[in-house]
């Protein structure tokens, strides 16, 4: 059938940060397209809620509470997935987040916290999952980056640097592994209505639907599922000729005024 290339039947996907927002929407969409899902994050109640929704649509869901900034915890996550399902075919590195501060106000601990959450976690998870994926000669890794990796956003400078690191890491790992059957791509998100984005608008004393930063052509904040669909593309055979790419999903570039 026409959309068979998007099918994930028989595949197992690990989605980090899958209790809310983009991670939850992605986990549900991958399940709708046939994947069994391993859910990882720190807030167990939210993971269980996502798991219940996945089971309602007839797919299996495994909850593994995980701090992805800890390499040993990442090893445990992948090991548990392999023990339960026997293979891992898709990894979505979605965990991330930031705080907003002027560059001169960040502490050393805050720098390490943000870089570890957004960049080190991607390195840890990708390195661990590569072993079984390379052994089976097949796999897809999708990293969630951000428009902050391309823009000059002073109040989230460490976050933007970490996300730019994800873009570079995506290219480097793709160069290393694509020839062995493991594709690596990234989705850089624009303004998306998530728990973290709502916190940012409140700090800026703006409404939840306000577009922070450079405007987009569509003129609205995106929805989590509008990131989930590009992730599905990269996770599935629909993107079988794509590797090392970072797709910026941001509502389009807004043309400058001519008035």
Contact 125, 74 (CB under 8 A): yes
Active site includes 197? no
Look-up of token digits 């072993």: 131
Is the CB of residue 85 less than 8 Å from the CB of residue 105? no
Each residue's pLDDT expressed in tens, for the chain with a length of 259 residues: 346 999 999 999 999 999 999 999 999 999 999 999 999 999 999 999 999 999 999 999 999 999 999 999 999 999 999 999 999 999 999 999 999 999 999 999 999 999 999 999 999 999 999 999 999 999 999 999 999 999 999 999 999 999 999 999 999 999 999 999 999 999 999 999 866 555 554 555 555 565 655 667 888 889 999 999 999 999 999 999 999 999 999 998 876 766 6
Tokens of 239: 């993107």
DSSP per residue, 57-76: TT--EEE----TTSHHHHHH
Q: How far apart are CA 128 and CA 73, in angstroms?
A: 10
- The CATH architecture of the domain made up of 4-249 is 3-Layer(aba) Sandwich (3.40)
Catalytic site residue from 159, 197, 229, 241: 159
Q: Which of 2, 38, 41 is nearest to 19 (CA)?
A: 41
The structure's pTM equals 0.92
């Amino acid at each position: 059938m026409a959309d068979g290339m998007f099918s994930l039947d028989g595949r197992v996907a690990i989605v980090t940060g899958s209790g809310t927002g983009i991670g939850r929407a992605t986990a549900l969409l991958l399940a709708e397209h046939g994947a069994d899902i391993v859910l990882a994050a720190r807030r167990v109640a939210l993971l269980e809620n996502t798991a219940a929704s996945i089971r309602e649509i007839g797919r299996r869901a495994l909850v593994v509470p995980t701090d992805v900034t800890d390499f040993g915890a990442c090893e445990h996550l992948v090991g548990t997935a392999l023990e339960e399902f026997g293979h891992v075919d898709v990894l979505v590195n979605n965990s991330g987040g930031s705080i907003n501060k002027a560059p001169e106000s960040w502490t050393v601990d805050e720098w390490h916290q943000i870089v570890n959450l957004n960049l080190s976690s991607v390195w840890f998870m990708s390195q661990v999952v590569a072993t079984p994926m390379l052994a089976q000669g097949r796999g897809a890794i999708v990293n969630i980056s951000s428009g902050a990796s391309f823009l000059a956003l002073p109040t989230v400078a460490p976050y933007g640097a970490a996300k730019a690191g994800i873009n570079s890491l995506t290219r480097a790992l793709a160069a290393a592994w694509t020839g062995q059957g493991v594709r690596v791509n990234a989705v850089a998100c624009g303004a998306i209505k998530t728990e973290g984005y709502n916190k940012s608008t409140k700090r800026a004393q703006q409404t939840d639907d306000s577009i922070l930063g450079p405007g987009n052509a569509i003129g609205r904040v995106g929805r989590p599922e509008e990131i989930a669909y590009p992730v599905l593309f990269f996770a599935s055979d629909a993107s079988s000729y794509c590797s090392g790419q970072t797709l910026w999903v941001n509502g389009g570039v807004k043309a400058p005024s001519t008035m």
